[in-house]
């Protein structure tokens, strides 16, 4: 299966706190305190417990304000990936490699293609083939776990709701529309929307499925060298 390989092994540290949205404090094993950047603007609900083992990529770039990037955290039952840049590239590479059976058989695959009612949105992956309807794939980083379920979102997301509405429009045109959740963790057995956090999102997701939008969720296997696409999870709506 396709794998995102880090440019070098991650550095282990104890998570301390996240603040000002993009900053994370942690303690290295030698006792040194570091400040890391995080690109995850979500709540990371259920993940950020002080003292947990966390993993960071160190950058040898004197021009960078922060020399570390927050990549994953150990929640006991699994490592959980928090880098929001990884899902899009990993899913795209997995599609191209033929590792996602539901999305094979297309001649062309492109990333970040403009689409939508006003042409101002960008679909994460756009698949085309002369013998098939166009396929629009929206990808969401999924880190929240409730029981045995991977759930999304971890905070109210009007942007995510809009993406579902745009997928509905494509399905109504006769195109293929796919909502793909990448669970950056290995301890879930199924996927469901986080209705207790954003009931409107769950409502629109179920509406989307009735309109013909397909829902996929794949789990990942994680270690400090990389993140590998793993098994598909059952969808329960």
Average pLDDT, the chain: 96
Give the pLDDT score at 119: 75
Same domain? For 65 and 128 the reply is no
Same domain? For 70 and 97 the reply is no
**First-last CA distance in the chain:** 27
Give the pLDDT score at 118: 72
* Under-50 pLDDT residues of the chain: none
**Domain end: 78, 97, 117, which one?**
78
Give the pLDDT score at 60: 86
Tens of pLDDT, residue by residue over 199-237, are: 999 999 999 999 999 999 999 999 999 999 999 999 999
**What is the Cα–Cα distance from 76 to 82, expressed in whole angstroms?**
15
Same domain? For 123 and 215 the reply is yes
pTM of the model: 0.96
Give the pLDDT score at 120: 78
Same domain? For 96 and 171 the reply is yes
Chain centre to alpha carbon of residue 80:
11
The residue range of the domain holding 116 is: 86-235
**Domain end: 78, 109, 134, which one?**
78
Domains contained in the chain, number: 2
Same domain? For 113 and 227 the reply is yes
Tens of pLDDT, residue by residue over 45-71, are: 999 999 999 999 999 888 889 999 999
**Domain end: 50, 78, 106, which one?**
78
Give the pLDDT score at 117: 74
Same domain? For 60 and 142 the reply is no
Give the pLDDT score at 200: 98
The domain that holds 15 is classified in CATH as: 2.40.50.580
């Amino acid at each position: 299966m396709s794998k995102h390989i880090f440019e070098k092994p991650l550095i282990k540290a104890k998570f301390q706190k996240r603040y000002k949205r993009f900053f994370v404090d942690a303690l290295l094993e030698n006792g040194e305190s570091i400040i890391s950047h995080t690109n995850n603007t979500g709540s990371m609900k259920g993940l950020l417990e002080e003292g947990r083992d966390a993993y960071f990529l160190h950058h040898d770039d004197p021009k960078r304000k922060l020399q570390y990037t927050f990549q994953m955290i150990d929640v006991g039952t699994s490592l959980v990936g928090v880098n929001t840049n990884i899902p899009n590239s990993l899913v795209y590479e997995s599609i191209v490699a033929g590792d996602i059976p539901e999305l094979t058989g297309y001649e062309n695959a492109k990333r970040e293609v403009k689409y939508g009612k006003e042409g101002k949105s960008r679909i994460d992956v756009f698949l085309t083939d002369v013998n098939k309807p166009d396929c629009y794939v929206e990808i969401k980083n999924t880190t929240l776990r409730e029981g045995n379920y991977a759930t999304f979102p971890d905070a109210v997301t009007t942007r995510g709701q809009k993406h579902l509405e745009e997928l509905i429009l494509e399905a109504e045109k006769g195109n293929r529309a796919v909502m793909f959740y990448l669970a950056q963790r290995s301890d879930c057995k199924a996927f469901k929307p986080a209705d207790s956090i954003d009931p409107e999102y769950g409502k629109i997701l179920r509406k989307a499925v009735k309109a013909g939008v397909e829902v996929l969720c794949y789990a990942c296997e994680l270690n400090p060298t990389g993140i590998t696409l793993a098994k598909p999870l059952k969808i329960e709506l």
